[in-house]
Amino acid sequence: MVQHVLYRALVSTKWLAESVRANRIGPSLRVLDASWYSPGTREAQKEYRERHIPGASFFDIEECKDKSSPYELMLPSEAHFADYVGHLGISNDTHVVVYDGDDLGSFYAPRAWWMFRVFGHRTVSVMNGGFKNWVKEGHPVTSEASRPEPAVFKATLDRSLLKTYEEIVENMQSKRFQVVDSRSEGRFRGTEPEPGGLEPGHIPGTQNMPFFNFLTADGFEKNTEELHNMFQEKKVDLSKPLIATCRKGVTACHIAMAAYLCGKPDVAIYDGSWSEWFRRAPPEHKISEWNRSKA
């Protein structure tokens, strides 16, 4: 059984700004911009090149994935992840801080946080408030490229934090795990269209907790009391096993982070999520109010 040691999941913009000013960005502290935007909206790499936190490297989630998978953003192999983050100057002794530039304050950063954790790296945090609050508070930005010295990273997959299609199918009978979906209510119920050419809907027996509700209007994570209350209102028992899902395994990581902040570090992610479930599950295992005449 893997022991999950609680490490600070969030660091403040102020803490990171002090680290930048003290020139502490280096082998022991690496900062990653994990931004990603839907095609045709914003260009994450272009924005990174124009301005980013001093010393930050770009974490390209399109490069650090299983490119052979028919699904969108499946985890890469241990070797692929280790090689990719090693080239970003990250070793097993590095404290990694991730952020993104989404207008919500945080979108893809929790996915990068979970990726490090699922590959056995515990010293990883998300910068609370994201890049939008970093800029709003007047902290320094740069266009200077980060060129860290490559490091050696050893990745060890923690299977307890990852669930497969087959395990979700088995759970429908055993009900060993609670399953929570982080998409919007409309996409979950099937009253709003689903991006990516999928019909909307959800896995039978799944609870819905839209990920953006974990964030304040200013883009910060809500406090632990509010997070606890949110789980209680949805009758999600944090003392029992929990799986998080969404469309492609990204915003599900917000559920994992919120639970982690409540003292539950062992939430597993269904990596294929609805992207895989919609394509593989039989019709009776897809609950939806979608009217196909809308399509």
The 3 state secondary structure assigned to the chain is CCCCCCCCCEECHHHHHHHHHCCCCECCEEEEECCCCCCCCCCHHHHHHHCECCCCEECCCCCCCCCCCCCCCCCCCHHHHHHHHHCCCCCCCCEEEEECCCCCCCCCHHHHHHHHHHCCCCCEEEECCHHHHHHHCCCCCECCCCCCCCCCCCCCCCHHHEECHHHHHHHHHHCCCEEEECCCHHHHHCCCCECCCECCCECCCCEECCHHHHECCCCCECCHHHHHHHHHHCCCCCCCCEEEECCCCCCHHHHHHHHHHCCCCCCEEECCHHHHHHHHCCHHHCECCCCHHHC
Mean pLDDT (whole number) for 217-238: 98
How do residues 60-108 score in pLDDT, each as one tens digit?
999 999 999 999 899 999 999 999 999 999 999 999 999 999 999 999 9
Reported confidence tier of residue 196, pLDDT bands at 50, 70, 90: confident
**CA-to-CA distance for 66 and 243, rounded, in angstroms?**
21
* Residue corresponding to tokens 């909307």: 200
Between CA 129 and CA 220 the distance in angstroms is: 4
What pTM, to 2 d.p., does this model score? 0.95
Given the residues 64, 246, 253, 262, select the one marked as catalytic: 246
Q: How confident is the model at residue 255 (pLDDT cuts 50, 70, 90)?
A: very high
Phi and psi at residue 200, in whole multiples of 5°?
A: -80, 170
Q: Are 179 and 205 in contact (CB under 8 A)?
A: yes
Active site residue 253: no
- Domains of the chain are 10-157 (3.40.250.10), 160-294 (3.40.250.10)
Tell me how far apart the alpha carbons of residues 215 and 212 are, in angstroms, rounded to a whole number: 5
**What is the chain's length?**
295
pLDDT band at 2 (very low <50, low <70, confident <90, very high): very low
